[in-house]
Amino acid sequence: MKRCFDLRNERGAALVWVALMATILFGFTALVIDVGFVAQERRRMVTAADAAALAGAMELAYNRKQEAPLAEAAAIAKAESFALENGADFIDSITIETVEHNGENLKAVVARVGCNVEYTFGKLLGFEGQKVYASATAVYGFPLDGSNILPIRHDSNIELGVQVTLGNDKLAPGNWGFLRPNDGSQGESAVADIFRGRKSLSLRVQTGEEEDFAEIYTYTGKAGNQLIWGIEDRMKKVADPRDNSITMEGLIPITDEFTDVSGTTKIRVIGFAYFRLIDVITEEYKKVGGLYYSYGSEWSDLNWDPDKNCPVPNVKKMYGGYPQKPNPVHDDDEYPKGTIIGEFLEDRILPVADVNKITQDPSRDFGALVVRLIK
């Protein structure tokens, strides 16, 4: 007996399978597209959360000497502002918490922000969208390894056993190697206050592809009287046996070289070098015995008078000894007024990552301030 096949039934079954597979394929396509968009928005929220936490921690640091409720309120307000400016649709929470980091209990800003994601193709399958969140935690503190960060830079060419002069070489238009605080302070007095120990250099440590780095701003201009007085105040403070909060030793930022810039410039810090401040030029090129000399500070290498409780000035050291008075336009101007004289204590560069070891102990509150993400 012959069997008869109804081709119309076969076609109908095939159409059902095609329709079913098309629906499944469309669903997977919609899923891939919408999941990709969600991932993109999550990355955007990570950026917003990081910015909020860092801004809040920086504000908390700047107001650290105020009453805690005022300082924390200012930090939360700053974090909220930065979260919204960096793309967050809403703020889930901004809190000030105490966290443990490298064995230290630190006050931290914890930001959790989010955005609303509407599905594009998922709506056709009955899915409207979702909320996407990201969180970040940032802290501030004072580096435990060499808290005295001096406001002047150097390149990676470090030599031991030789006298080094800083602040006397024009690196770029308006830039002589000095650095200023990142808190918006302007003028020579702000740099001088870092030498005194009244202000701190604030470094935002960032994670690079190969190594951590920090960024800092240059101070434009040569050293004048205010900066010299700041260094001399440091010398007097170091000589005082009643005060051990600061020393003539510290760290100087090692930075990338820069030439094609002018004015205040953000530069990249790649590490730190141990350095000792020895002297600062207070008078330039006086003629003595037929030669021209510059003079250091009378407060260098101070002795302390225990009866009067004050430092004893010294005879100023002489530097140079040129047969002709140097021309500041030329490279032979090694000891102009304001030149810092010192020496490197080690020939190694301390990685930026080492400033990860920080504390909020007020007794370490001088010389440097670090803000960084820890989560």
Residue 113's alpha-carbon distances to 36, 43, 87, 93, in angstroms, are: 20, 12, 10, 7
SS3 category, 59: helix
**Residue 145: predicted pLDDT:** 58
Buried/exposed 59-70: b ≥16 CB within 10 Å, e otherwise: bbbbbbeeeeee
Residue 222 buriedness (CB in 10 A; 0-12 / 13-18 / 19+): buried
What is d(CA 233, CA 311) in angstroms, rounded to the nearest whole number?
11
Q: How far apart (Å, rounded) are the C-alpha atoms in residues 221 and 335?
A: 16
Q: For residue range 279-327, list pLDDT tens digits in order.
A: 999 998 899 999 999 999 999 987 777 788 888 888 899 998 889 888 7
Global pTM exceeds 0.85: no
Maximum distance among all Cα pairs of the chain, rounded to whole angstroms: 134
User: What whole-number distance in Å separates Cα of residue 352 and Cα of residue 239?
Assistant: 30
Q: What is the structure's pLDDT at 29? A: 60
* Distance from C-alpha of 285 to C-alpha of 275, rounded to nearest angstrom: 26
Give the model's pLDDT for residue 11. Answer: 52
Residue 7: its pLDDT value, please? Answer: 46
Given a cut of 70, the residues of the chain with pLDDT beneath it are: 1-35, 120-127, 144-147, 182-184, 204-212, 244-245, 258-261, 328-332, 354-356, 364-368
